Structure 1
Amino acid sequence: MASPLKSLLSDSCRYLKSFQMYLERCNEHRLMQDFINNQLPNILSRTVRGKSHLNVIGVGSGSGEIDLKMLSALHLKNPHITVDNEVVELNPQQLSDFRDLVSLTPGLDYIRFHWYEMTAEEFEEQWKEKKMTKKVDLIHMFQMLYYVRDAGATISFFQSLLNRNGKLLFTLLSENSGWAKLWQTHSYQVCNKEINQVSTNDIKGLLDSKGLSYQGFALPCQIDITECFTEGDENGELLLDFLTHVLHFSKSAPPELKTEVMELLRHPDCSMESDGKIMLKHDCELVVIDQHS
């Protein structure tokens, strides 16, 4: 039976507010910044070797903070390289925010931006319709494979665009994540089937079956969900909306479901308590696919 709960994706304004609350309560961006500073230059060393120009695609780039940090780190190590950067983002507000960020950030004259307000599947369809032959050096898809119909097919398409020594980067929840346990336990009540509940293990199994080369990097993220347990707390309710991808979860969920979800979120398998805070285990993995041929 279809869930009576409305998807968070049906209200773009509420989605953005809840997404912003998630970013404020999670250390994921800090860990990504550490990865960009300490790991990414070595990962891209063969990709940039001997190049004066790179083609880059960001899929589901949001408002662009991580994208610009990656490109800035790349430029710092390789100031002679110019970049064509294609940005694929469905949400018009986030795409507008990315444009604004670019306009306010000095020193980006080495990058030429191309903007696509569309889904990954629409971008793929357009690319094939135009019979594009351009090869790409770097493609990144951070926390966006939950929003495609077939994550494996999406990975395969974008991997096929890679130039020799190109890299495809993506992040997903790991099997050990408390958030993943929430989705797995209540898959029929939350997410409204609009979320592809895929994990890094699923994709790595696909890559192994195809004999593709890749590396995995653990991102031991946490989300401060303390406010979720204060009845009526607006920040907590926004965060619960994002965790469940249910619009106004606290007000619309049946009492039994809400009780089960809150108990699961606080269970030691999903979270830990420290210094009066409840921290949800949000273990992720960043996977890098190498294109050697």
Structure 2
Amino acid sequence: MMASNMSENKLFNLLSDMKHYHKTYAAYCSKTTKWQEMHKWTESAEFESNVVANLSKYFSGNMDQQIRVLGIGSGDGILEMHQLQKLTAKFLKISASVVEPSELITKYKDTVGMNPAADNITFEWYKQTFDEYLACHGSDKKYHFISVVHAVYFLGDPDVFIQKLYKLLEPGGILLVIVVTDHTGSGCIPLHKLKDDKTTNNYVNSFQVTAALEKLQIYYTQSTYTETYNITDFMTNDDSEEGELLLDFMTGTINFKKSAPDDVRDRVMHHFQQVLRIEKTDDGDEKISYEEISDILLVTRGDKAK
């Protein structure tokens, strides 16, 4: 019988190697419906009424006034540019500050250069982490809309970063936070036994964020969307490099399949077996899917600071 490799192998946090992280992120982007779902939500009546219309009320019809927008962890800007496009339909002048520490900020700039909707938007680029941005620029500049889409995992203690974000809002300003729930997807992949030694990625989830909001007595609204992963590659093909990269992204670890202790790998793969969905494709092949639910949290700052 092969001995367990529990004592020999150790998993490392995916965020400790950003080059590998970007490889896993590319694999994730090719295997998820996130972009379609987020596009639908931004086009929905919910975004129109809860973001665009509410900001319009703040300006009381004076659409010539410049609206200030802050994106944190904006990545390549695909989602954020779509939000900005919706805002340009209502507001004539927009100043957008982009805080993104990785090389993806270059792709964002390329996207802006090819998008006519960006003509009425003035961009400021900050290739920094959120904390570096605050250290350099302080919290004096306030924003009417702050977008944090699946970036809270990089921001540390929710009690701390929620308070920082809230203080950056103008009265009447809106904070959008999108974060995975604690009961689906990466929020419930059973890696908990490894987290005591801080070698794996202890993802922040929506439960922690809403708990922070409630602790700070900040009112929020909550809705959800569901994205689907195509996990066929790592469930059926042990030699699939893209499958291994996707598994690394979903577990928040580096080289999970090769490095995980036997019991941890078995536990995680059993988890996928329990919740996966199998369907036939048009060409008769099997497609194995996995669903993840994310919470959409919207905060509007009142007239008085907390």
TM-score under structure 2 length normalisation: 0.85
Amino acid paired to 1:210: L
Structure 2 residue matching 1:267: 3-state secondary structure? helix
Q: Give distance in 2, aligned partners of 1:191 and 1:219.
A: 30
Whether 1:82 and 2:88 are equivalent positions in the alignment is no
User: Contact 1:88–1:119 (CA<8 Å) still a contact in 2?
Assistant: yes
Correspondent of 1:67 among 57, 73, 80: 80
- Letter of the 2:184 counterpart: S
What is the match of residue 4 of structure 2?
Answer: none
Instruction: Indicate yes or no: 2:122 matched with 1:124.
Output: no
Corresponding residue for 2:23?
17
Once the 2 structures are TM-superposed, how far is the Cα of residue 187 of structure 1 from its aligned partner? 4.2
SS in 2 for 1:202: helix
Q: Which residue in the other structure is 1:58 paired with? A: 71
Aligned to 1:206: 212
Report the alpha carbon displacement of residue 149 of structure 1 after superposing the two structures with TM: 2.0
Matched, 1:218 2:229: no
Distance 1:2 1:112, change over 3 A: farther
- Note the 1:261-272 alignment, pairs <5 A: 261-268=268-275, 271-272=276-277
1:105 corresponds to 2:111:
no
Counterpart check, 1:153 vs 2:160:
yes
CA distance in 1, matches of 2:217, 2:136: 28
Identify which range, 184-193 or 51-60, moves more after superposition. 184-193
Cα distance in 2, alignment partners of residues 283 and 70 from structure 1: 20
Write the distance in 1 (CA, Å) between the matches of 2:187 and 2:179. 10
**Can you give the 5+ residue segments of structure 2 that lack an aligned partner in the other structure?**
1-6, 281-285
Identity in percent: 24
Tell me the distance in 2 between the aligned counterparts of 1:171 and 1:187. Answer: 26
Which residue number in structure 2 is paired with residue 177 of structure 1? 184
2:302 is equivalent to residue 292 of structure 1 = yes
Checking the alignment, whether the CA contact within 8 Å between 2:223 and 2:296 is kept in structure 1 is: yes
1:78-122 deviation digits (Å, cap 9, x = unpaired): 1x521111101111x201111111112223121111111111121
Distance 1:170 1:64 in 2: 16
Q: Does 1:281 align with 2:291?
A: yes
CA contact 1:225–1:278 (8 Å) conserved in 2: yes
Query: What TM-score do the two structures reach when normalised by structure 1?
Result: 0.89
**In structure 2, how many angstroms separate the alpha carbons of the residues matched to 1:178 and 1:6?**
19
CA distance in 2, matches of 1:176, 1:117: 33
Equivalent runs, 1:136-151 vs 2, <5 Å: 136-151=143-158
The answer (yes or no) to whether the contact 2:162–2:212 under 8 Å persists in 1 is: no
Residue pair 1:148, 1:196 contacting (<8 A) in 2 also = no
CA distance in 2, matches of 1:70, 1:178: 25
How do residues 41-52 of structure 1 correspond to structure 2 at under 5 angstroms? 41-44=48-51, 45-49=53-57, 50=61, 51=63, 52=65
CA drift at 1:43: 1.2
> SS state of the match for residue 195, structure 2?
coil
- SS of 2:69's equivalent in the other structure is strand
Q: SS of the residue aligned with 1:257?
A: helix
Please give the residue correspondences for 1:247-258 in structure 2 after superposition, counting only pairs within 5 Å.
Answer: 247-258=254-265
Q: Which residue of 1 aligns with 2:124?
A: 114
Deviations 1:116-164 (A, max 9, x none): 1111121222233xxx533210001111111122122111111111112
Question: Would you say the 8 A contact 1:273–1:279 is kept in 2?
Answer: yes
After TM superposition, the structure 1 stretch with the greater mean CA deviation from structure 2, 173-182 or 55-64, is 173-182
Task: Read off the aligned partner of 1:75 and give its amino acid letter.
Answer: T
Instruction: Name which of 135, 140, 143 aligns with 1:133.
Output: 140
What amino acid is the match of 1:70? Q
From the superposition, tell whether residues 248 and 196 of structure 1 become closer, same or farther in structure 2 (CA, over 3 Å): closer
Is the alpha carbon distance of 1:279 and 1:233 closer, same or farther for their aligned partners in structure 2, counting shifts above 3 Å?
A: same
Q: Report how far residue 171 of structure 1 moved.
A: 0.9
Contact 2:72–2:148 at 8 Å: present in 1 too?
yes
Matches of 2:180 and 2:193 in 1, distance apart?
A: 16
Structure-2 separation of matches of 1:170 and 1:187: 27
- For the residue of structure 2 that corresponds to 1:109, the secondary structure is helix
1:34-53 CA distance string (max 9 Å, x none): 11111212112121333421
Unaligned ranges ≥5, structure 1: none
Identify the residue that residue 245 of structure 1 maps to in structure 2: 252
Instruction: Give the aligned residue type for 1:277.
Output: K
